[in-house]
Chains A and B, each alone.
Chain A
């Protein structure tokens, strides 16, 4: 029997029981649609988390001064001054370290002509914008020469620029920080709030040397951000840094670290991991409905085999071989699941769009998840269609013919 003839037979048999075929396919439709929709929603959430983390600067380690005990009094974190720019330079030489950005921070009143604004002053190096993944809106960022020269230049965050200059361009203007005149060389693009709600655009950036010597009168740094080559490298780099800093600070075996570290890469990894688990969870719950759809197919095919026993007998008398009967019933099951799969994909895509429209949740539909859902539906058809089809093919012609 040719493929086209077999297909024709299967199609005709399904057509004869249109309602039943449609209801059977509905099980698969709902199954595939829910898998697609759930995975789309899960993947959307995953993507949004990844984007959020990306903007926070993943692959990033942060080293801060630790606390120290002097005469029984423990200072708070950042209470000691052992972390220096020389430490930062040493860290830069470690393997898998891409960039190192030491910084200091204080707050001050910034004045421009008649107006003023209290904001954070950050002393940073030339790498800062790159490490933070923070592009400029206008002008230039602080250069290495300006850091070396402790130049009187500054870069404004969007909030500060808006408060002091309104809509006018601040580039080339001079502002006064505390009592120091500073030329504005650039404005950063809008970054938004941090995860804990403070406005990151409300800051003025000056060369770290300028901040240390002219504004704060200190020699240590308050924060070193280390950007690593990848998330996997981050935790190893962190170990190397700890070892390096302990050696540089001449800490004995029984002494505690005089610095603290935060691994953002780890944080990013665990949040993305939980998002991935969430997607899998949604997907597997939805798969259960696909499985139920498959059982629906098996149920209907078994009923169909019993109902059509005499038809099978007639076909066998007319020369149908076992495999002809097997293929006929298997094809019927496959057509049901394939049609269900295709309609399910359509419904799933529409459903995911609808959910995203009404709830505002982001969705992400990948060709892979669609393909997997469709293949899974086909597999369900084969798996649950095989048993009834074999049952049909194994009938003995005389018994099938005699069946009332």
Chain B
């Protein structure tokens, strides 16, 4: 039996915001199996961004445990977390977060640079990833020369170029119009269905969440099955 991609137990996180303690997460349990497509919904301030940050190894919990691919990563140092972000996790953000004034190709090459991949292989893999996203003609384009949908495709290419275990998508369609949103969701569907990419999606739109096999809701720092 394969290990779950994500196995989270009793995750808690408290922030001090302007001197007031905010309990962002109050005991989250979550398991995501390989090949799953899971959506997490919740109103703003519900703690879903905090959960996303911890699952993405951008932040650490106060207590609880987090196993990524069966490995306990709760107490890793910042450098080890950086390596996990590089190898195991691909991020897709609402505002794309592409490096400005940097070509699509260089954007996609960036995670490979930090992985220590040599120049030629970097070039080849990034080109392939962009071609896979239908952007073979736009390798040299900078983000400002691309449409929103194209920018998000570059971001997806960048997220997948290191062949991560998990694709974390934080409101990937939040800045896109309806047609483009559908387009991007179709890309994610294909990746999940045909290539077995495990996807964890955070959204507040039901139409987007409907693409997932399983939808969870964060409310007041706790995770509930949808409809509960």
Report which A residues bind B (CB closer than 8 A): 1-2, 4-5, 9, 12, 16, 310-311, 313-324, 396-398, 401
Number of contacting residues on B, CB 8 A? 30
Q: Is the Cβ of B97 less than 8 Å from the Cβ of A310?
A: yes
B206 contacts chain A at the CB level, 8 A cutoff: no
With A318-B158, A319-B83, A321-B114 known to touch, is A4 a contact of B58 (CB < 8 Å)? Answer: no
Q: Is the Cβ of B83 less than 8 Å from the Cβ of A398?
A: no
Which residue from chain A places its CB closest to the CB of B170 in the assembled complex?
A401
With A5-B113, A5-B119, A398-B58 known to touch, is A322 a contact of B79 (CB < 8 Å)? Answer: yes
Chain A to chain B: the 4 pairs with minimum beta-carbon distance, closest first: A319-B86, A319-B114, A321-B82, A318-B111
- Residue among A1, A4, A12, A317 making CB contact with B97, cutoff 8 Å: A317
State the CA gap A4–B58 with chains docked (Å): 27
Q: Is the Cβ of A397 less than 8 Å from the Cβ of B83?
A: no
Q: Is the Cβ of B59 less than 8 Å from the Cβ of A316?
A: no
State the CA gap A317–B119 with chains docked (Å): 21
A-chain residues with CB within 8 Å of residue B111 when the two chains form the complex:
318-319
Which residue from chain B places its CB closest to the CB of A313 in the assembled complex?
B97
For window 95-116 of B, CB contacts with A under 8 Å fall at 97-102, 106, 110-111, 113-116
Report which B residues bind A (CB closer than 8 A): 53, 56, 58-59, 78-79, 82-83, 85-87, 91, 93, 97-102, 106, 110-111, 113-116, 118-119, 158, 162
Which residue from chain A places its CB closest to the CB of B110 in the assembled complex?
A318
With A315-B110, A401-B97 known to touch, is A321 a contact of B79 (CB < 8 Å)? Answer: yes
The minimal Cβ–Cβ distance linking B140 to chain A, given in whole angstroms, is 14
The minimal Cβ–Cβ distance linking B151 to chain A, given in whole angstroms, is 13
The minimal Cβ–Cβ distance linking A311 to chain B, given in whole angstroms, is 6
A-chain residues with CB within 8 Å of residue B53 when the two chains form the complex:
398
The minimal Cβ–Cβ distance linking B176 to chain A, given in whole angstroms, is 19
Given contacts A318-B85, A320-B114, 5 further A-B contacts (CB under 8 A): A311-B99, A318-B91, A318-B114, A319-B87, A321-B114
- Residue among B56, B83, B100, B114 making CB contact with A311, cutoff 8 Å: B100
With A317-B97, A319-B85 known to touch, is A324 a contact of B58 (CB < 8 Å)? Answer: no
B-chain residues with CB within 8 Å of residue A5 when the two chains form the complex:
113, 119
The minimal Cβ–Cβ distance linking B77 to chain A, given in whole angstroms, is 10
State the CA gap A401–B93 with chains docked (Å): 10
State the CA gap A322–B158 with chains docked (Å): 21
The minimal Cβ–Cβ distance linking A360 to chain B, given in whole angstroms, is 51
State the CA gap A241–B115 with chains docked (Å): 79
Q: Is the Cβ of B100 less than 8 Å from the Cβ of A2?
A: no
With A314-B99, A398-B59 known to touch, is A324 a contact of B114 (CB < 8 Å)? Answer: yes
The minimal Cβ–Cβ distance linking B193 to chain A, given in whole angstroms, is 26
State the CA gap A396–B58 with chains docked (Å): 8
B-chain residues with CB within 8 Å of residue A2 when the two chains form the complex:
116, 118
The minimal Cβ–Cβ distance linking B106 to chain A, given in whole angstroms, is 8
Contacts A/B (CB < 8 Å), 24 sampled: A1-B113, A2-B118, A4-B119, A5-B113, A16-B101, A311-B100, A313-B97, A315-B99, A315-B114, A317-B58, A317-B85, A317-B91, A318-B86, A318-B114, A319-B82, A319-B83, A319-B111, A319-B115, A321-B79, A397-B59, A398-B53, A398-B58, A401-B93, A401-B97
Among A12, A313, A398, find the residue whose CB has the most chain B CB atoms closer than 10 A.
A398
A-chain residues with CB within 8 Å of residue B58 when the two chains form the complex:
316-317, 397-398, 401
The minimal Cβ–Cβ distance linking A267 to chain B, given in whole angstroms, is 66
A-chain residues with CB within 8 Å of residue B56 when the two chains form the complex:
317
Which residue from chain B places its CB closest to the CB of A314 in the assembled complex?
B97
Among A1, A314, A396, find the residue whose CB has the most chain B CB atoms closer than 10 A.
A314
State the CA gap A12–B106 with chains docked (Å): 11
A-chain residues with CB within 8 Å of residue B83 when the two chains form the complex:
319, 321
A-chain residues with CB within 8 Å of residue B110 when the two chains form the complex:
315, 318
A-chain residues with CB within 8 Å of residue B86 when the two chains form the complex:
318-319
Which residue from chain A places its CB closest to the CB of B115 in the assembled complex?
A319
Which residue from chain B places its CB closest to the CB of A397 in the assembled complex?
B58
State the CA gap A401–B85 with chains docked (Å): 14
